[in-house]
Chain A
Amino acid sequence: MNETTRTPLVKVRDLVKHFPVENSDDVVRAVDGVSFDIFPGETLGLVGESGCGKSTVGKCLLRLIEPTSGSIEFEGSEITELGGRSLQRLRREMQIIFQDPYSSLNPRLSIFKIVSEPLKIHKIGSRPDQKERVAELLGKVGLDPRYMSRYPHEFSGGQRQRIGIARALALNPKLIIADEPVSALDVSVQAQVVNLMQDLQNELGLAYLFISHGLAVVEHISVRVAVMYLGKIVEVAESSELYSSPRHPYTRALLSAIPIPDPKVRRERIVLSGDVPTPINPPSGCRFRTRCPEAQPKCADIEPELREVAPGRFSACIFSKGYDDGKPFG
């Protein structure tokens, strides 16, 4: 790939989001220093267990919540300071699809109103233009344009997710943040929506930040995958490499925990003991050490950084091969 296509669309550095705890000086360290890039037309998968901060990262990118500190660049310009008009303009370029297709569509609005709402907010086109555009969008996501006058309750979960995607596409965005877009769907429908997202990416050159706890789906759709644990990214790699030879012990445990739909495959399973610690008071040093089967005493003292342990592969474990000589990310 040449240099121009490798300019990141989104460049996130040291993103931090702390939430205050009521009646206390404590803070929830939901996102605690996260850096990554998303390239145009590419899918970056963001995986991790509930509470690791992956959705908070997605919402910070859109400025749906304000980051505590850190920098987010979109096409080379800093967006954390934007306000008013320029923030609204930015949001044309970035859209989001949500996990629950039931609660993310207003039950009292027709499909036309739902899908055309972004056009209305950004004052694009006359009403007949908008009708035409909604019909085109519905066609793109595989729904009959005649459904325009219907209401969300008349649709199945998979169809509702298609409506959510049509709405996200209305403004021709460059980036779509997909927060668990298929987790609430049955497997046969999941596959339909994943295929649709891939087709749209090929056709429109969209970039996705695909946030999910479903590791197999993420592997299928992503070029690169970032793994989060307790507010930090612990590993980033090209998806085929991450899945075939994970470098970080947490990634290894996470992958080995996925049940494989093949009873003949009997894997050595790494069953992690205990629960994820609270993000209010994360462990010192490496945050995974309290559950890590490979932890050593010095893991409590050294806070590992995300380093390039092999070309294009990053791991935040001091025992990862190549960590000592590795360059820090970014």
Chain B
Amino acid sequence: MSHLLSVHGLKTYFETRAGLVKAVDDVSFHIDKGEMVGLVGESGCGKSITALSVMRLISPPGKIIRGSVEFNGEELTDASPERMRKVRGNDIAMIFQDPMTSLNPVFTVGEQISEALRLHRKLSRKEAEQEAIEAMREVAIPSPERRIKDYPHQLSGGMRQRVMIAMALACDPDLLIADEPTTALDVTIQAQILELLNGLRESRELAVLLITHDLGVVAETVDRLCVMYTGKIVEESPVTELFEEPKHPYTRGLLKSVPRLNETREEKAMRLNTIEGVVPNPTALPPGCHFAPRCPLKEPRCEEGEIPLYRVSENRSVRCVLYDEFESE
């Protein structure tokens, strides 16, 4: 079966003065139509660079070194710039964390949504405005006929993110990449936006790649997730299984360091679990497993060489020597 998006062996490196940064290092994953997949990890793990690589939005000193990005059967890594401009927006759209910096402050939101429609679908000004109103209605912006004349600064953070989503969906893409879409928003507004994304995915059969550092957000929204650490996927799993039984020591550490709601008195008195140490310098990654220096289960062989992803069940894989009885991918 062919996937909507399939990324294989993707490597995006940055040549910096401090040395070579392997921001994305041999990343493979796929998304099917109507599926929501999470890409989770802490800052600097390469999750956003992975998304930007898919969109071919990497600028120097960054470079896609190797790998393939196949969308609807078409290879994107060597597509022409003209072709990529068509793909962006029409096929794959993206929204970002901060809707204020992604919107142009000197144009009304109506003009900005219309612009995408006129560029990609060659609509007239009038038609585009009508469509823009419809797009705003779909993302539940109240009285869109009036709101269309507002400038970004007149809208709240949540409304701006809705405008971004309306703009992203204006050309009816098959895949939406949402990079930390709710991180800048308050929890009650976050709940509204997540509900909206979930609804759109059902009504439009939209596939969503949700990039976030918040394990709570993925637990409630995605079907499958990939956990990243220092440029590599360390674990891939359906969401329920991952939370029920995290396999990689990093995933386990991450889940345990999140404070739970409704703690018991004993839990409150206890210290939170932490992952010792800090993320290694990206220009001087340790040999072998990158997590080894912080890992409570470290063995000598962890530092001996590249650790492959082991396929531990039909739909789960883990990059850790503890699972070396399984086949590697």
Contacts and interface: CB of A to CB of B under 8 A. Distances in A.
Judge: A and B partners, yes or no: yes
Interface of A: 49-50, 156, 158-159, 186-192, 194-195, 198-199, 213, 215-217, 219-220, 239-240, 243-244, 253-264, 269, 271-273, 275-276
A261 B219 contact: yes
Nearest to A222: B268
A239 B221 CA distance: 28
Contacts of A261: 215-216, 219, 243, 255, 258, 260
B195 A240 contact: no
26 contacts: A50-B157, A158-B278, A159-B278, A188-B42, A188-B253, A191-B272, A191-B274, A195-B272, A198-B271, A219-B262, A219-B263, A220-B272, A239-B268, A257-B191, A258-B187, A259-B219, A261-B243, A261-B258, A262-B219, A262-B243, A263-B239, A269-B195, A271-B192, A272-B191, A275-B159, A276-B156
B16 to A, nearest CB: 15
Closest 4 CB pairs of A and B: A259-B216, A49-B186, A186-B42, A191-B272
Contacts of B217: 259
Given A187-B254, A188-B253, A261-B215, A255 B261 contact: yes
B126 interface: no
A216 B239 CA distance: 21
Nearest to B212: A259
Given A191-B273, A213-B187, 11 more contacts: A49-B189, A50-B186, A187-B258, A195-B271, A240-B265, A243-B261, A243-B262, A259-B194, A260-B219, A261-B216, A264-B240
B219 A219 contact: no
Contact of A216 (B240, B258, B278): B258
B257 A188 contact: yes
B188 A257 contact: yes
Nearest to A259: B216
Contact of B261 (A190, A195, A219, A253): A219
Given A191-B257, A198-B271, A186 B213 contact: yes
Nearest to B155: A275
A220 B187 contact: no
Contacts of B46: none
B259 interface: yes
Contacts of A258: 187, 216, 261
A156 B43 CA distance: 11
Contacts of B181: none
A34 B83 CA distance: 59
Interface string B147-171: 0000000001111000000000000
Given A186-B42, A187-B213, A240 B274 contact: no
A258 B191 CA distance: 8
Given A189-B278, A240-B265, A263 B258 contact: no
Nearest to A256: B191
Contacts of B299: none
Nearest to A198: B271
Contacts of A217: 259
B97 to A, nearest CB: 13
A112 B257 CA distance: 31
Contacts of A244: 262
Contacts of B275: 188, 191
Contacts of A159: 278
B278 A257 contact: no
B261 A260 contact: yes
Contacts of A199: 271
A239 B267 CA distance: 13
A217 B187 CA distance: 14
A192 B253 CA distance: 12
Contacts of A192: 274
B194 to A, nearest CB: 7
B211 to A, nearest CB: 14
B28 interface: no
A186 B250 CA distance: 13
B191 A271 contact: yes
A158 B260 CA distance: 21
B261 to A, nearest CB: 5
Given A191-B274, A219-B259, A275-B189, A260 B240 contact: no
A257 B189 CA distance: 9
B220 interface: yes
A187 B187 contact: no
Interface in B249-305: 253-255, 257-263, 265, 268, 271-275, 278-279
Contact of B187 (A158, A194, A215, A263): A215
Nearest to A194: B272
Find the residue from A156, A240, A261 having the highest chain B CB count within 10 A: A261
A49 B243 contact: no
A257 to B, nearest CB: 4
A185 B219 CA distance: 20
Nearest to A188: B275
B190 interface: yes
B214 interface: yes
A11 B253 CA distance: 40
A68 B84 CA distance: 57
Contacts of A49: 186-189
Contacts of B189: 49, 275
A194 B219 CA distance: 23
